[in-house]
Amino acid sequence: MKILIVDDSKFMRNVLLDILSKGNHDLIEAENGKIALEKYQAEKPDIVLLDIIMPEMDGMEVLKKIGQQAKVIVISAVGQEKMVEEAKSLGALNYIVKPFDNEKVLEVIMAVK
């Protein structure tokens, strides 16, 4: 699968790249919402892993643009339940809460049909 990882933290993108590199995936990165939209249009990934809090354009803004067409999994933090609900209403399929276990990430990715 082709997966677009969207997170402003390079460290977290590397953590996710490391977890997902164990599967046979084509991995793409974006460090903010604006770049994520450009890469989404250019690369047409199967799944978008999307952090909520980002500069330039946050995860919600990205969801407003592509939530109905893309398969998006939102990465949220503890206490962001309201944001998760909003993300779901904008089309997010599922969510992962930080801090997450590697298995949880793989499980959620595998569950995307």
Partner 1 sequence: MKKVIVIGSSTGGPGALEDILKELPANLPVSILIAQHLAHPFTKTLVERLQIVSKLVVSEAKNKEILEPAHAYVIPGDSHCFLYEPGPRIALLPAEDLPKPSVDMGFTSVAEHFGPDTIGVILSGMGNDGVIGAKAVKQLGGVILVQNEATSVIFGMAKRVIESGFYDKILSLPAIAAKLVELITT
Contact status: 35 vs partner 1 (CB under 8 A):
no
HEC-encoded secondary structure of 22-85: CCCCEEEEECCHHHHHHHHHHHCCCEEEEECCCCCCCHHHHHHHHCCCCCEEEEEECCCHHHHH
Binding partner 1 (rule: CB under 8 A), the pick from 27, 53, 57, 112 is 53
Closest distance to partner 1 from the beta carbon of 11 (Å): 5
Contact status: 104 vs partner 1 (CB under 8 A):
no
Closest distance to partner 1 from the beta carbon of 12 (Å): 5
Are the C-beta atoms of 21 and 29 separated by less than 8 Å?
Answer: no
What sign does the dihedral 48-45-70-39 (CA atoms) show? positive
Contact status: 31 vs partner 1 (CB under 8 A):
yes
Please identify, using beta-carbon distances, which residue of 1 and 17 lies nearer to partner 1. Answer: 17
Binding site for partner 1 (CB under 8 A): 8-12, 15, 31, 53-55, 77-79, 98-99
